[in-house]
Amino acid sequence: MATTTVISSSLHLPTPTSLRPSQSLYYLSLLHLPSLQKSHRYRHLSPVGSRQKSPTPLLRVSAQENPVKKPEPMVPPYNVLITGSTKGIGYALAKEFLKAGDKVLICSRSAEGVESALQSLREEIGVQHVWGTTCDVRVGNDVKNLVAFAQKNLKYIDIWINNAGSNAYSHKPLAEASDEDLIEVVTTNTLGLMICCREAINMMLNQPRGGHIFNIDGAGSDGRPTPRFAAYGATKRSVAELRMQEVKNVVVHNLSPGMVTTDLLMSGANTKQAKFFINVLAEPAEEVAKYLVPNIRSIPANGSTKPTYIRFLTGLKAYSQIFSRFAFGARRNRYVLED
């Protein structure tokens, strides 16, 4: 299941018609949208091909010194593993990696979902470089078996994307959330993410090429409140804490797909405010993946060893689209009819 920012009916926003452009900055802050300021924690990614490589410094090593052994160069095609990848943004990412010539391993809790996704990918892409297996990221043995499956069929994994996540399709205040929903959200988004990171790191530590892990964030990851899905927001806040830059041979990055028109997002399109922002800011999973995949692939291609935060919906882009809506009526009723 794809991890996606969800607009909840509890957001205390005025009706879109009562908003002035100057007010939009405040109300936008109630949503999960990145600020215009760059985080000090990560190197933010510029568009592919826009960066110039700095000259590589010369390293002098005497006969008595032992040179530091560096990972082997990581050249395409890449071996990619994506959790929660039988639908939504996970499926779209898998498709784009396959189009780029990479080998992809998809997984999901549902055996039927895995089989259906495998068939669709092979029919759409026309290649056989895709594998699939069941995996419940909440269960340690399942993730260990996923690693074993990957090593058996692909030998190694260059790029591991932790996309599996859940909000239990629940849009209720914390006080009304059931035990089952809280357990589902917390065990999938927090425990599952930690288990996957642990197993991915242990596998990649022993790979000559090393590896890159990408964790997908969501609403709440920046610390802003998510009153109608508090458990989801709290779990996504923990994503930023799994940076682990000091892990030898492995680099951990963050991905922010923004608002994606998946089932998870559209299930919350039941208020004026939600419909307004979905129409103005959301994009189909296919469009988001077309942006993310080239930027993800550029990181190992450039030999980067620094944590990177790749964002599809930047603050500037969001504010620009909101302004266009107020000024020109752009994107009205694009996905859902507004009242």
In this prediction, residue 11 carries a pLDDT of 38
- 141 has a pLDDT exceeding 80: yes
- 130 has a pLDDT exceeding 80: yes
Whether the ω angle into residue 77 lies within 30 degrees of 0, i.e. cis, is yes
pLDDT tens digits along 11-66: 334 444 444 444 444 344 444 444 444 443 444 454 444 444 444 444 443 334 44
In this prediction, residue 243 carries a pLDDT of 64
Contact 220, 233 (CB under 8 A): yes
pTM recorded for the entire structure: 0.77
In this prediction, residue 175 carries a pLDDT of 74
Across the chain, what does the average pLDDT equal?
Answer: 78
Q: What is the mean pLDDT of residues 234-261?
A: 77
Q: What is the mean pLDDT of residues 197-209?
A: 94
- 91 has a pLDDT exceeding 70: yes
Q: How far apart are CA 339 and CA 333, in angstroms?
A: 9
Q: What is the mean pLDDT of residues 230-235?
A: 60
Share of the chain residues as helix, strand and coil, in percent rounded to the nearest 5: 40, 10, 45
Q: How far apart are CA 285 and CA 262, in angstroms?
A: 7
Percent of the chain with pLDDT over 90: 44
Query: CA-CA distances (angstroms) from residue 259 to 45, 90, 215, 311, 313?
Result: 19, 14, 16, 11, 8
CA 255-261-267 angle, 5° bins:
115
Contact 153, 105 (CB under 8 A): yes
pLDDT band at 68 (very low <50, low <70, confident <90, very high): very low
The residue that leads in pLDDT, 301 or 13, is 301
By residue count, the chain amounts to 339
Please state the three-class secondary structure of 9-70 as a single string.
Answer: CCCCCCCHHHCCHHHHHHHHCCCCCCCCCCCCCCEECCCCCCCCCCCCCCCCCCCCCCCCCC
User: For residue 108, what is the enclosing H or E element?
Assistant: strand 103-108
In this prediction, residue 46 carries a pLDDT of 42
Active site (catalytic) residues = 232
In this prediction, residue 161 carries a pLDDT of 98
In this prediction, residue 60 carries a pLDDT of 40
- 142 has a pLDDT exceeding 80: yes
pLDDT band at 5 (very low <50, low <70, confident <90, very high): very low
The owner of tokens 């089989």 is 115
Q: What is the mean pLDDT of residues 120-139?
A: 92
Q: How far apart are CA 95 and CA 102, in angstroms?
A: 10
Q: What is the mean pLDDT of residues 207-211?
A: 94
In this prediction, residue 140 carries a pLDDT of 97
The residue that leads in pLDDT, 178 or 107, is 107
pLDDT band at 67 (very low <50, low <70, confident <90, very high): very low
In this prediction, residue 269 carries a pLDDT of 72
- 236 has a pLDDT exceeding 50: yes
Q: How far apart are CA 69 and CA 335, in angstroms?
A: 52
Q: How far apart are CA 324 and CA 321, in angstroms?
A: 5
